[in-house]
Chain A
Amino acid sequence: MIALLILSLLLIGVILIQQPKGESLATAFNGGFIHITKAEKQLSTIILVLFLSIIATIFILK
C-alpha cells in the first residue's frame, strides 16, 4: 500500500511538472509545428512508466 501511495504521489508530481501547452485547440490545429523538447519526451516516458507501475502494484495487491 505504501508503494502505491508513493507511486501515486510521484505521478501527481511529474504530471504537474510538465507544463500544459496552453491554447490546446490552437496547437491541435497547428499541424506539424509542435515543438517537443527532449525534457518533455522524458517526462512523458516517466509518466507512462509510473502509470504502468501503479497498475502492476494494484495487481500485486489484489
Chain B
Amino acid sequence: MNTIKKIIQSKQVRNRILFTILVLFVFHVGSLITLPGVSAVAYGKQTFTNFLNITTGGTLQSFGFLALGVSPYITSSILIQLMSKGVSPYYTELSQQGQLGQQKIQQHIRYFSILFGMISALSIMFSPQFTSLLGVTIEGSVGDKFIYAIVLTVGSLFTLWLGEKIDEYGVGQGSSVLIAYGILKGIPEQIINVYNQYPFFEVIGRQSQYFWGVAGLVVAYALVIFLSIKANKKEYHIPIQSKSNPTVIKAHYYPIKLLASSVMPVIFATSIMSLLGLGTSFFTSNTSWTEYNTPIGFVIYIGLIFVFSYIYNTIQISGEEIEKGLNESSMYITGISNNDVSSFITKKVINITHKGAPTLALIAGIAIGVELVIPGDMGLSLTGVSVLILIGVLQELTYQINGLIEKNKYKELI
C-alpha cells in the first residue's frame, strides 16, 4: 500500500507506468487485428507452438498484425550476443566501445530482426505444415501472401520499436515486459481450460482424479513460483580487494547469480526441441519424442537444459574479461593471483552451474512432470519457464520502481 501511495505521489514514476500501460494497450490492439484472408482456427499445443507463443509475447495465438511479436528480435539478440562474446572479432570490438558501440549493435539487431522476421513470415505463409501446426488458414495469391509476409515482418519491427519506447520512457526492459504481458494475459484462459476439462472426467467417471490433478497442479505451480523467486535472488559473492588498500571491505565483491544466464538455457533447449519437431514433421507424423510433454521428450528436454546451462554460463561469464577488468581497475580476488583469475572464475562458474542447472531443470520440469502423471489432458501451456520469466520481470519492475522512488526522494531533499 505504501509503495502504491509513493507511486501515485511521484509524477515521474506515475507517468512511466502510465506510458508502459499505453504501449501495452497498443501492443494488445495490434495483436488482435488479423490480416485479410487469414483466420485463426485452433492454436496447436505442441512444444514448438507453445514456445513460439511465449517468445512472441502471446501474439501468435491470435495471429494478428503483430503475430511475430518480439520473437525475431530475441533470435537476433541471442545471435549478436553470442557473436560479441569472442565469436566475431567485429562485434566483440563493438561491444567494448561504450554507448556508441551499443547503438551500432542495436541497429544491427534491428537488421537481423527484419531478416529473421521475413524468414519466419515466409515460412508461415508458404508452408502448409507450419500453418497446420499454428492452426491458421491463409487465403490469397502468391503475391498477396508475399505482401502479408512483409506486413508481419513490419509488425515484428513495430513491436521491437514499442519495446524500445518502454526502455526509454516506461518501466522495465521493453521486450521482457511485452513477453511477460503475453504470459500474464494467457493465465485466465489456462484456468478456463483446466475448468473446461471437468465434463470429460465426469463422463468417464473419474472426478476424483480430476480434483487430485488440479490439486497437483496448484502445488506444482506454487513450488515453481517459490523456487523461481528464490533462484532469481540467489547470488554468490567473490570477494575482491583494491591493490592500494588491502583492507577487506565487505561491499567489494564480484557477484555471480545462481541462474547466471537466467532462462536462456531453457530457451535454447526449447528452440532445439521445436526445430527438431518442425524438421521431423516434414518427414514423419511421429514427432512425439520432440514434445516435452511425452516421457522421452521430457528426458531429452531436461538433458538439453543441463547441457546448455554449462555452455551458456561459461560463455556468458568470461574469466578472461574479468581478469582484464580487475587488472585495469587495480583490483584482485582475495587469495588468487591475477594470472589465475580466468581459470578460477571458470571453475567457480562450473561449480555454481552444478547447482543452477538442476534448479532450472526443476523449475522448467515440475509443471510438465505433474501433467505427465495426471491422466487426461489438462490443456495447459503455461510452463515453468513462463512462470520464471514472469517472476523475473516482476522482480525487475519492482527494483526499478523502488529505485525511481528513492531517486525522487533524494531529488526532493536537494
**Interface 0/1 of A12-37, CB less than 8 Å to B:** 10011011111111011101101000
A53 to chain B, nearest CB (A): 12
Contact A58–B174 (Cβ < 8 Å):
no
Instruction: Say yes or no: is B340 at the interface (Cβ < 8 Å to chain A).
Output: no
Contact B102–A22 (Cβ < 8 Å):
yes
Contact A22–B12 (Cβ < 8 Å):
no
Contacts of A19 in B (CB 8 A): 103, 107
A44 to chain B, nearest CB (A): 8
Contacts of A45 in B (CB 8 A): none
B150-190 residues at the A interface, CB under 8 angstroms: 150-151, 153-154, 157-158, 160-161, 164-165, 167-174
Partner of B103, one of A22, A44, A55: A22
Contact A32–B12 (Cβ < 8 Å):
yes
B307 to chain A, nearest CB (A): 29
Contacts of B107 in A (CB 8 A): 16, 19-20
Contact A9–B150 (Cβ < 8 Å):
yes
Answer whether A22 and B173 are a contact pair too, CB < 8 Å, given A5-B150, A8-B154, A16-B110. Answer: no
B402 to chain A, nearest CB (A): 12
Instruction: Say yes or no: is A39 at the interface (Cβ < 8 Å to chain B).
Output: no
Instruction: Say yes or no: is B404 at the interface (Cβ < 8 Å to chain A).
Output: yes
Answer whether A29 and B147 are a contact pair too, CB < 8 Å, given A20-B103, A20-B107, A23-B99. Answer: no
Instruction: Say yes or no: is B379 at the interface (Cβ < 8 Å to chain A).
Output: no
Size range of the chain A interface in the assembly:
20 to 34
Contacts of A44 in B (CB 8 A): 165
Answer whether A24 and B161 are a contact pair too, CB < 8 Å, given A31-B12, A54-B65, A54-B154. Answer: no
Contact A22–B164 (Cβ < 8 Å):
no
Contact B65–A58 (Cβ < 8 Å):
yes
Instruction: Say yes or no: is B144 at the interface (Cβ < 8 Å to chain A).
Output: yes
Answer whether A1 and B147 are a contact pair too, CB < 8 Å, given A22-B103, A29-B403. Answer: yes
What's the A-B contact tally at a CB cutoff of 8 Å? 97
Instruction: Say yes or no: is A62 at the interface (Cβ < 8 Å to chain B).
Output: yes
Contact B157–A23 (Cβ < 8 Å):
no
B30 to chain A, nearest CB (A): 7
Interface size on B, residues (CB 8 A): 43
Partner of B154, one of A12, A27, A34, A61: A12
Question: What does DSSP make chain A's interface, helix, strand, loop or mixed?
Answer: helix
Answer whether A20 and B110 are a contact pair too, CB < 8 Å, given A27-B167, A28-B173, A61-B36. Answer: yes
Contact A21–B150 (Cβ < 8 Å):
no
CA distance A11 to B154 in the complex (A): 7
Contacts of A4 in B (CB 8 A): 147, 151
Contacts of A47 in B (CB 8 A): 158, 161
Q: Which residue of chain B is the closest to A59 with respect to CB atoms?
A: B33
Q: Which residue of chain A is the closest to B175 with respect to CB atoms?
A: A24
Contact B65–A21 (Cβ < 8 Å):
no
Contact B167–A28 (Cβ < 8 Å):
yes
Partner of B400, one of A29, A34, A59: A29
25 contacts between A and B (CB under 8 A): A1-B147, A8-B150, A8-B154, A9-B154, A11-B154, A11-B157, A12-B153, A12-B154, A15-B110, A15-B160, A16-B110, A18-B161, A20-B164, A21-B106, A22-B106, A23-B99, A24-B173, A27-B168, A28-B168, A28-B170, A34-B169, A55-B30, A55-B65, A58-B33, A61-B36
**A residues within 8 Å of B by Cβ?**
1, 4-5, 8-9, 11-12, 15-16, 18-25, 27-29, 31-32, 34, 44, 47, 51, 54-55, 58-59, 61-62
Inter-chain pairs besides A5-B151, A58-B36, 10 sampled, C-beta below 8 Å? A1-B143, A1-B144, A5-B150, A8-B154, A15-B160, A22-B99, A34-B168, A54-B154, A55-B30, A55-B33
Closest 7 CB pairs of A and B: A20-B106, A24-B167, A22-B102, A22-B103, A61-B36, A8-B154, A22-B99
